A and B are shown apart, each in its own frame.
Chain A
Amino acid sequence: MTTPVLRTEQLRITLPGGLTAVDGVDLVVEPGQIVGLAGESGSGKSLTALSLFGLLPHGSRAQGRAEVGGRDVLTLREKQLRAMRGDEVAMVFQDPMTSLHPMLTIGRQVTEHLRHHHGTGRSAARARAVELLTQVRIPDPERTLGAYPHQLSGGMRQRAAIAIALACSPSLLVADEPTTALDVTVQAGILRLLDRLRREEGLSILLITHDLGVMGALTDRLAVMYAGRIVETGPTQALLTAPRHPYTRGLLDSLPRTDGVAAPLRAIPGSAPRLTTIPPGCAFHPRCGHAVAPCSTDRPSLLPLASGAPRDEGRMLACLVDPYAAAGERPGGGAVSPT
């Protein structure tokens, strides 16, 4: 069996004030897979990603294990972390407007870490940069190397950011909301690019987004986070067509249907809890229509679905009630159309 590119076990992140933002997250990304991490803002998705880079905000602590290529990054020293960042793992951030340096040329930003990590010479790095920009389908790469971010459009900037991330041929790409700041028409292009990189280059991607439409289009597996914990995980198609956790179902019901069936949009009542007031038991119970008394006291563990049915294979759920166990496919299942 191959070593997973990423495996976290009981990853727990505490913020400076002592608040627990991520509470026991288990994630696995196999080589060549795209794994989605979904959840509302504040659910701990981005902190999970930053912890893989040792880039948590000052004073935060990460416990548990987070193995990248078999090495636990949480135990690495600063120097080893720096050697790993940008080389073995690379990150694409949400907003290419702010994540690219405004005063350095694209060429410089694509090559500087390549030259640092691999000691590549100037002309070889430049050739590699042209190759990368071509790979992410930036027209006229030679000229773009000399351009500054403000001279590119939003979509081109994000393509450049992806080229930067790919420069050292990382084994894992972490993409934190890579399409959220872009126009819808541009989003599709970026998603197709990520999909192509996975198919052609065997790139493994941890894709973080709140957008289940993006997830359905791209990911092999999906983990849904709520208030710092994973509530449901499984193969994307099975999970989206037959969601088992009331929260996942709520998220899907709040999306517009694209299959032509008129169905009212249903919002999840209430709002996501703040870190200071995470409810005891199942954190979702105050907003859950199926909650029973134990939900407010007993914390559900993330357990494999034990039905033995093929469609439940590889799925895990953290719900005491499991109200949709017998529901089968969600009406109008697959409402989330691949982009």
Chain B
Amino acid sequence: MQAPANRRESVRRGSGLGGFLGRRAIAGAFLVVGITLVAFVLTHVVPGDPAAAALGQRAIEDPATVAAFRARYGLDDPLWKQYFTYLFGLLHGDFGISQQTRRPVLTDLVEYLPPTIELALVAIVISLVVGVALGTVAALKRDRWPDQLIRVVSLTGVSVPTFWLALTASLIFSVKLGWFSSTGQLDPGYPKPPTVTGLLLVDSLLDNDPFTFQMGLHHILLPALVLAAYTVGLITRFTRASVLEVLGNDYIRSAHAKGLPRRTVILRHVLRPAMVPIITVSGLAFGSLLSGTVLVESIFSWPGLGQYAYKSSLALDLPAVMGVSVIVAVIYVVINLVIDVLYGVIDPRIRLS
């Protein structure tokens, strides 16, 4: 009697989570469409003529060339028609042609997105490891000197301007000390490993090429550390607050009353519930790392999305700018979905209700 009831229950639970994620995914799709609309309107109302920006001085003076350019990119159509044309293309995976690189925007994105994702991933992993460790120590040593010291460190990380930090770090650790390399993903002229995931470190490992992996690490660490400075500070402060809140719970006193070692209490009983807000802030931080790496990518000559977005905006390369906006929107939606799933993994009350 019992078993079928159990199975029914677990099936219901399964569809509950699946249904939940399905609903979130549909909402996410609507969100992405909404963002394309906003991005489209914004990019098209900016003053400045794409034709003028894309064509040279001589070409602009020739009305026939300008007219041909405008006709080719559909710039003479009414805005709503341009939008639907774009949206229709998007549904078929057509992001349009970049006026600057003369290549499909999708091709550009496939090339420029992975380095940025890799940089952001390394930065967020560093931030999580360092931030959670520092935040936990700060909470456990509340109001004593380690806490004060960590507060200064995290405040510094949050307040130092990234461009300054990038330049200074590059000067000290790369130029003066030579500990890290500060330009590009690999040494100039060195071949990339065969593309599988697009992530250089992963691809070099898949290619069984530890030398390239090491070189990639040598190049990625400094920009990743610079990017991590802000998020480390952020995660440290969230972790401290979150751990302090968990420490005040009765179930932590229960864990101590059971005579468990301190380590076990902290790792198993404290950190797990404390991770919920930390995951939220890390997810958002990861999103902003992806879209906000322009400065760091410029200074470290990192061939990523930030540089691509920056150059495209300067050139009023509308399809490229739109492509970047859409991809960043999709990434944000995916991150939020992942965060929702992680909540369920951590907290059975969310998973099973």
Taking Cβ atoms with an 8 Å cutoff, the residues of A that contact B are 53, 55, 81-87, 90-91, 93, 95, 98-104, 112-113, 116-117, 140, 143, 148, 150-151, 161, 164
Contacts and interface: CB of A to CB of B under 8 A. Distances in A.
Given A140-B2, A150-B349, A100 B257 contact: no
B253 interface: yes
B248 to A, nearest CB: 11
Given A101-B251, A148-B352, A84 B259 contact: yes
Nearest to A102: B349
A105 to B, nearest CB: 8
Interface stretch (B62-70, B218-226, B267-275, B288-296): B267-275
Interface of B: 2, 6, 249-251, 253-262, 264, 268-269, 272-273, 346-349, 352-353
A87 B264 CA distance: 16
A316 to B, nearest CB: 30
A98 B260 contact: no
A221 B123 CA distance: 63
Which secondary structure dominates chain B's binding surface?
helix
Contact of B257 (A86, A101, A117, A148): A86
A82 B256 CA distance: 8
A47 to B, nearest CB: 13
Given A55-B257, A98-B249, A113-B259, 16 more contacts: A53-B256, A83-B259, A86-B258, A91-B257, A99-B251, A100-B251, A101-B251, A102-B273, A103-B272, A112-B258, A112-B264, A113-B260, A116-B260, A143-B2, A148-B349, A150-B349
A87 B259 contact: yes
Contacts of A86: 257-260
Contacts of A55: 253, 256-257
Nearest to A140: B2
A101 B255 contact: yes
A86 B265 CA distance: 13
Nearest to B276: A103
B250 A116 contact: no
B282 to A, nearest CB: 19
Nearest 9 CB-CB pairs, A to B?
Answer: A85-B259, A86-B259, A86-B258, A113-B258, A98-B250, A101-B251, A148-B348, A99-B250, A91-B257
Contacts of B272: 103-104
Contact of A93 (B250, B261, B262, B346): B250
B16 to A, nearest CB: 14
A60 to B, nearest CB: 14
Contact of A101 (B259, B269, B346): B269
A53 B349 contact: no
Nearest to B262: A82
A53 B257 CA distance: 7
A150 B259 contact: no
19 contacts: A53-B256, A81-B259, A82-B260, A85-B256, A85-B257, A86-B257, A86-B258, A86-B259, A86-B260, A90-B257, A91-B257, A93-B257, A99-B253, A104-B268, A104-B272, A112-B260, A112-B264, A116-B264, A140-B2
